[in-house]
C-alpha cells in the first residue's frame, strides 16, 4: 500500500515538474524575472524563513507553488489592495485573450461587429488593438468599458483556466498584485505544510 502511495507521489511530482518546465519554456526570461521578484519580496518580508535557502531553491519553491496552487477568488479579493493601479495589464500586455462569450457580449453592447474589435489567433479570441488596449484611457489610467470588461480583465492577474482547468497567475514581475499574491501563496503553502506536519 505504501509503495503505491510513494509511486503515485513520485508521478505527481514528475507531472508538476514537467508543468514547471513547460511554463519556464513558454515564458522564458519573463518567468525567471517574475520568480526573482517574488523571491526578493519574500526575502525582505520574511528574512528568517528563507535565510538557509539558496536562490535556486527558493525560485523552484515559488515555481512549484505557482504551478500547483490555484488562485481563489477569496484570495484575490483579500489582496486586491496590492494592485498599484499602474495600468501595466492594460498598456503592456501584447495579447489579451477573451472568451467567445465576452467577444459576443462586448460587441453587442458596443453595437459594433465582433471582427472589428476582436481577432481569432491560435483558436483564441483576443482584443484586436491590445498594446495598449484600445479601451484603456492613457490620460486617466482607467478602462473605458469597465462595467462590461471581459472576464480576463476581471480576474487579472489570474489567467483563464489552462488545459488542466487550473487558473494560474500571469507571471509579470512588473505587476505588484501578481507578485504579492504569489508571495502570499508561498507563505500560506508553508503554513499549511507546518500544520500538516504537526498533526
First-to-final CA distance of the chain: 21
Domain tally, the chain: 2
Whether residue 127 is contained in a domain is answered as: yes
111 with 47, same domain: the answer is: no
Q: Are residues 10 and 63 in the same domain?
A: yes
Q: Are residues 57 and 25 in the same domain?
A: yes
- Same domain for 31 and 4, yes or no, is yes
Residues 137 and 165 in one domain: no
Task: Indicate whether 190 belongs to any domain.
Answer: yes
Residue 76 falls within a domain, yes or no?
no
Structural contact between residues 137 and 143, judged by C-beta atoms closer than 8 angstroms: yes
Distance (Å) of CA 6 to CA 1, 13, 76: 9, 10, 34
Q: Is 98 in the same domain as 146?
A: yes
Integer-rounded Cα radius of gyration of the chain: 19
Do residues 10 and 54 share a domain?
Answer: yes
Q: Do 19 and 43 fall within a single domain?
A: yes
Which range has the worst mean pLDDT, 56-70, 108-122, 155-169?
155-169
Residue of 166, 157, 145, 183 lying closest to 92 (CA atoms): 157
125 beta partners: 98, 120
Domain that holds residue 19: 1-71+160-199
The reply to whether 54 and 111 lie within a common domain is no
Tracing cell 523571491 back to the chain, one arrives at: 39
Tell whether 122 is covered by a domain: yes
What confidence score (pLDDT) does residue 62 get?
92
Say whether pTM exceeds 0.85. no
Higher pLDDT, residue 68 or 5: 68
CA–CA gap between residue 153 and residue 142 (Å, rounded): 12
Residue 77 lies in a domain: no
Same-domain check for residues 128 and 153: yes
Question: Does residue 54 sit in the same domain as residue 119?
Answer: no
Q: What is the mean pLDDT of residues 21-36?
A: 89
Q: What percent of the chain has pLDDT over 90?
A: 41
C-alpha cell of residue 105: 457580449
In a domain, 150, yes or no: yes
Q: What angle do CA 180, 88, 55 make, to 5 degrees?
A: 40
pLDDT band at 5 (very low <50, low <70, confident <90, very high): low
CA dihedral 33, 39, 42, 46 (to 10 degrees): -150
Query: In angstroms, rounded to a whole number, what is the distance separating the alpha carbons of residues 179 and 63?
Result: 12
The CA distance from 132 to 6, in Å, is 49
- State whether 58 and 125 are in the same domain: no
Amino acid at each position: 500500500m505504501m509503495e503505491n502511495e510513494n509511486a503515485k507521489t513520485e508521478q505527481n511530482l514528475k507531472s508538476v515538474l514537467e508543468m514547471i518546465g513547460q511554463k519556464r519554456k513558454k515564458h522564458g526570461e519573463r518567468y525567471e524575472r517574475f520568480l526573482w521578484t517574488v523571491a526578493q519580496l519574500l526575502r525582505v518580508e520574511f528574512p528568517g524563513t528563507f535565510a538557509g535557502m539558496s536562490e535556486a531553491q527558493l525560485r523552484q519553491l515559488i515555481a512549484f507553488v505557482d504551478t500547483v496552487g490555484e488562485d481563489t477568488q477569496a484570495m484575490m479579493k483579500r489582496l486586491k489592495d496590492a494592485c498599484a493601479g499602474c495600468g501595466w495589464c492594460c498598456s503592456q500586455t501584447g495579447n489579451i485573450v477573451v472568451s467567445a462569450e465576452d467577444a459576443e457580449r462586448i460587441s453587442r453592447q458596443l453595437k459594433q461587429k465582433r471582427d472589428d474589435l476582436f481577432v481569432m489567433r491560435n483558436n483564441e479570441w483576443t482584443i484586436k488593438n491590445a498594446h495598449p488596449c484600445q479601451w484603456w484611457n492613457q490620460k486617466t489610467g482607467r478602462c473605458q468599458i469597465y462595467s462590461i470588461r471581459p472576464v480576463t480583465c476581471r480576474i487579472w492577474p489570474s489567467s483563464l483556466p489552462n488545459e488542466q482547468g487550473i487558473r494560474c497567475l500571469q507571471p509579470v514581475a512588473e505587476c505588484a498584485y501578481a507578485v504579492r499574491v504569489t508571495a502570499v501563496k508561498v507563505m500560506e503553502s508553508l503554513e499549511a505544510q507546518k500544520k500538516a506536519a504537526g498533526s
